[in-house]
Amino acid sequence: MDLSGRAALVTGGASGIGAAAVERLVAAGASVAVVDRDADAADTVAQRHGGLAIPGDVTDPATLPAAVAATEERFGRLDVVLLNAGVTAGQSGIEDLDVDGYRRIVGVNLDHVVFGLTAAVPALRRAGGGHVIATASLAGIVAMPGDALYTATKHAVVGYVRSAAPTLAGEGIRVNAVCPGFADTPLIAGVKGQFAEFPLLTADEVAAAIEGILDRAEPGECWYVQPGRAPAAYGFRGVPGPRDAGRPPEVSWRDH
């Protein structure tokens, strides 16, 4: 992958998958803006790679338009956007709902993807095309009963990506999602002990999948990433269409 002369923006870029992706983007020749709530950590990563640190809360609708503008001002263009920031809910979302916690996870995991895409599109058009990748999760394509709120936000990201992609593909702007399984990142630091016998992805394995998406994914594809497997596009099943007009419906369990 050759990104020489290109510029990228990574949210949640100061640690975990985001930091690993920054490293790969820089190795491919890109200049990178690192967006993160942790200003010191963002500055550390940016300085290490000669990039731009942009501190900010991605749930604020003003943060990503400002970050896009700062990236264009510093590097003269924007070609790749990785909307990677994410949090877990810390609650089931089924009973005793903490509304503030609910608003927080929706803000980080979903709103920021919407804010980020809409902020990036004009810049990508100015660059003649580009690529937006949202970090979703396997919880975006299958149910994860232990965290219903997290699952809800990641399903929403997958649906948004798949719906937005055809709208932008004709302009040379590809939109995709990466859907990793459990990864050894700060996101699971508080519960890592529960995974003692469970294989975890490394942050770099997910970053390698992101590199693969940049290199060869078709618009709207959502790539799964699992330990020991080659990352690939998930094959979504279609849904049954309407029956022919004038014919009585023949309902069976297969229709549900």
Mean pLDDT on 39-51 = 98
Residue 250 has pLDDT above 60, yes or no: no
Compute the distance between CA of residue 10 and CA of residue 215 in angstroms, rounded to an integer. Answer: 17
Mean pLDDT on 86-93 = 89
Phi, psi of 233 (to 5 degrees): -70, 135
- For 124-157, what is each residue's pLDDT tens digit? 999 999 999 999 999 999 998 888 999 999 999 9
| pLDDT for position 95 | 87
| 122: DSSP letter | H
Residue 256 has pLDDT above 60, yes or no: no
| pLDDT for position 194 | 59
Q: How far is CA 155 from the centre of its chain?
A: 12
Residue 255 has pLDDT above 60, yes or no: no
- Would the pTM of this model clear 0.85, i.e. be above it? yes
Any idea which of 26-30, 49-53, 201-205 has the lowest mean pLDDT?
201-205
Mean pLDDT on 159-182 = 96
- For 209-225, what is each residue's pLDDT tens digit? 999 999 999 999 999 99
Domains recognised in the chain with CATH numbers: 7-255 (3.40.50.720)
- For 173-199, what is each residue's pLDDT tens digit? 999 999 998 777 666 555 555 555 667
- For 98-130, what is each residue's pLDDT tens digit? 999 999 999 999 999 999 999 999 999 999 999
Of all residues in the chain, the percent with pLDDT exceeding 70 is: 90
| pLDDT for position 145 | 86
Mean pLDDT on 4-29 = 97
Compute the distance between CA of residue 105 and CA of residue 65 in angstroms, rounded to an integer. Answer: 20
Tokens of 7: 């510029």
Q: Report the greatest alpha carbon distance in the chain.
A: 68
Catalytic residue among 150, 160, 224, 234: 150
For the four alpha carbons of 187, 192, 194 and 199, in that order, the dihedral sign comes to positive
Are the CB atoms for 180 and 137 separated by under 8 Å?
Answer: yes
The residue whose two tokens read 């338009």 is 65
**Chain-wide mean pLDDT for the chain?**
91
Residue 23 has pLDDT above 80, yes or no: yes
Tokens of 169: 């593909």
**Reported confidence tier of residue 238, pLDDT bands at 50, 70, 90:** confident
Of all residues in the chain, the percent with pLDDT exceeding 90 is: 79
| Residue 150 falls in the annotated catalytic set | yes
| pLDDT for position 249 | 59
